[in-house]
Amino acid sequence: MDQNDLGTDIEKVLVTEAQIAHRLTEMASDIDRDYQGRDVLLVGVLKGAVMVMADLARALHSRVRMDWMAVSSYGSGTKSSGVVRILKDLDTDLKDQHVLIVEDIIDSGLTLSWLLSNLRSRGAASVEICTLLRKPEAVKVELDVRYVGFDVPNEFVIGYGLDYAERYRNVPFVATLAPHVYQ
Ligand code: IMP
Ligand code: MG
């Protein structure tokens, strides 16, 4: 899929396919270096992190295991509240595991702070966060994010796993939508 397939839906491309691929390679080599000699469990947060997980995992030289979680944060409208419900839990016991959470985007950071303390409470040896995108709000919360791909402006973005009403997840780049899409 490319921009031609999307008609007039795209307003602006913020991160291109090539930029994502290049940055993921850099992040993968940081992760390879930091976890040298340790077994890593990548934990992807469904559904948004599917693309990041698939491409990051293949850019790594380390042999990793992969598991998935699905969570929903209750909130009014599009803002998350920090009250999180687990829709699908991990299949893996985290005791003494080195866990790397793989996320698509951090906005308020509320979902991740909850997830971080939840996973830590299961006796993991370490829990770190890797996200492709980060919005400015995320900087305000006390959240130590080890690996960040790109800082993006405070706008609603789609593509590369990110959706608007479950659409646009298979767009290979990150973009904002034209106003008519929301009407
Ligand atoms: P928060 O950090 O708790 O506010 O929520 C982050 C989650 O909200 C992400 O994992 C995404 O699933 C979703 N999200 C936040 N910002 C966007 C966006 O711009 N586009 C699509 N989904 C978003
Ligand atoms: Mg997500």
**Cα(78)–Cα(38) distance, integer angstroms:** 38
Task: Tell me if 111 CB under 6 Å of ligand 1.
Answer: yes
Query: According to the model, what pLDDT value does residue 75 have?
Result: 59
- Answer whether 105's CB lies under 8 Å from 132's CB: yes
Please list the ranges in the chain whose pLDDT falls under 70.
74-82
Query: According to the model, what pLDDT value does residue 79 have?
Result: 63
Query: According to the model, what pLDDT value does residue 141 have?
Result: 80
Class of domain 18-154: alpha beta
Distances (CA, A) of 163 to 34, 50, 183: 31, 12, 16
Global model pTM greater than 0.75:
yes
What is the number of H-type helices and E-type strands within the chain? 4, 9
pLDDT 10s digits, 27-38: 999 999 999 999
The helix or strand, by DSSP H or E, that contains position 128, with its residue range, turns out to be strand 126-134
Query: According to the model, what pLDDT value does residue 76 have?
Result: 54
Query: According to the model, what pLDDT value does residue 137 have?
Result: 83
Task: Tell me if 97 CB under 6 Å of ligand 1.
Answer: no
pLDDT 10s digits, 106-126: 998 988 999 999 999 999 999
Contact residues for 156 (Cβ-Cβ < 8 A; gap 6+): 78, 164, 176, 177
The two three-digit tokens of residue 104, written as one number: 């698509």
Query: According to the model, what pLDDT value does residue 73 have?
Result: 77
Query: According to the model, what pLDDT value does residue 104 have?
Result: 97
Query: According to the model, what pLDDT value does residue 142 have?
Result: 81
**Cα(150)–Cα(18) distance, integer angstroms:** 13
Query: Which residue has the least CA distance to atom 8 on ligand 1?
Result: 107
* Domain extents in the chain: 18-154
Q: Looking at residue 89, what DSSP letter applies?
A: -
The two three-digit tokens of residue 38, written as one number: 């340790």
Q: Which of 107, 144, 151, 163 is catalytic?
A: 107
